Amino acid sequence: MLPKLSVPFLFKCLALIYMVVFITSCTSHRTDVDVSGIPLQVKTERFEQDLFSAGAENISAMKNKYGKFLDLYCFKLTELGSPDTALLKDRIRDFTTDADLKEIAAASEKIFHDFTPLDQQLTDAFRHYKYYFPGKSIPRVISFISGFNYAMVAADSTVGIGLDMYLGGDSKYYPGLQFPNYKTRKMRKEYIAPDCMRCWVQSEWEQDPAQNDFLSQVMYSGKILHLLDIMMPDVPDTIKTGYTTSQLKWCDANEKNTWSFFIDKKMLFSSDQNQIMKYLNDGPTTNGFPKESPGAIGQWLGWKIIQSYAKNNPSVTPAQLMNNTDYKKILNDSKYKPGK
């Protein structure tokens, strides 16, 4: 028969349990936080609509409205730029009256005429971003089309979304541009918000080029994916990683083998960029791995390590994690055990 416990003793136990749960919930990288009260609303500005409606005839209004983004668009995204206003006007007119580009603009408008669902998704993501990083600013979000040159761009407190790179995997334009299938299946609207958040956080925490060993690069990629986890908890892993369901299952089933592969190849601290890029570059599969594997399996490995680190170090905030670039220590503190 179990001894009876006194009420004060029970109260102390319950209080201790509550404190542990409370502390853990406040310090761990939770994904169930309530961000509804954060006063933030994303409203994407439709640059391409303004450009194709009256951009060439009203450059001054476009400059007033879009500021540095117009220069970015003209000089980098499309190479239309010219310091000569008259010449710039002619180039923009040629661009916006080109039959093919007008058709692409119309196709983008047909798919993205109502941006409300995407704005809602971005609003929720940036509210999470503000929750975890209250000192960070929120960028302007601007959509554009560039003739299939850019999908995402971040500069000057702005993140730009190239809509013509998200017309759907079955878009009639992509085969002629020779985009491979592993890319076109991700050129759909459901990838826009995660790609946008990835682009922005990568611009806020740029990878140190001096940290060019394999471990540093895969764990940097892992940190970015971890941020997507906590900022977009309802987005499926397939969308965040770009892997198919079967590829993710393959990764989970072969986690130990993947880790052993890199240990046996002595890759962790290698700075051989030719070798490293084999495991970080996108592709139909990862070079040297079975065809069932996804491309860029290195990011998945980094993601698993960072997930283990967040789990085993609940007092470390996302801000502290992002600012920590001692990847050897992060690996040690992660207590990472593949397959566990």
pTM, full prediction: 0.89
Bridge-based pairing of strands 152-155 and 158-162 is: antiparallel
Cα atoms found within 13 Å of the Cα of residue 274, Cβ hemisphere only: 0
The vertex-308 CA angle with 307 and 314, nearest 5°, equals 90
Task: Give the E-state strand segments of 156-232 in sequence order.
Answer: 158-162
Residue 219's nearest CA partner among 322, 128, 340, 337 is: 322
Tokens of 59: 């450059």
pLDDT digits (tens, 9 = 90+) for 265-281: 999 999 999 999 999 99
Domain boundaries, the chain: 45-204, 214-334
Asked if residue 31 lies in contact with residue 233, where contact means CB atoms within 8 angstroms, the answer is: yes
pLDDT digits (tens, 9 = 90+) for 117-149: 999 999 999 999 999 999 999 999 999 999 999
**Buried (b) or exposed (e) across 19-57, using 16+ Cβ within 10 A?**
eeeeeeeeebbeeeeebeebeeebebbbbbbbbbeebbe
Region 315-340: what's the mean pLDDT?
Answer: 95
Q: How far apart are CA 286 and CA 183, in angstroms?
A: 14
Tell me what pLDDT residue 57 has. Answer: 79
Alpha-carbon torsion 167, 168, 174, 179, what sign?
positive
Tokens of 310: 């967040």
pLDDT digits (tens, 9 = 90+) for 201-221: 999 999 999 999 999 999 999
Tokens of 155: 């500069």
Residue 159's nearest CA partner among 215, 225, 77 is: 77
How much is the mean pLDDT over the chain? 91
**In the structure, what pLDDT confidence band is assigned to residue 59 with cuts at 50, 70 and 90?**
confident
Q: How far apart are CA 206 and CA 219, in angstroms?
A: 13
Q: How far apart are CA 201 and CA 189, in angstroms?
A: 20
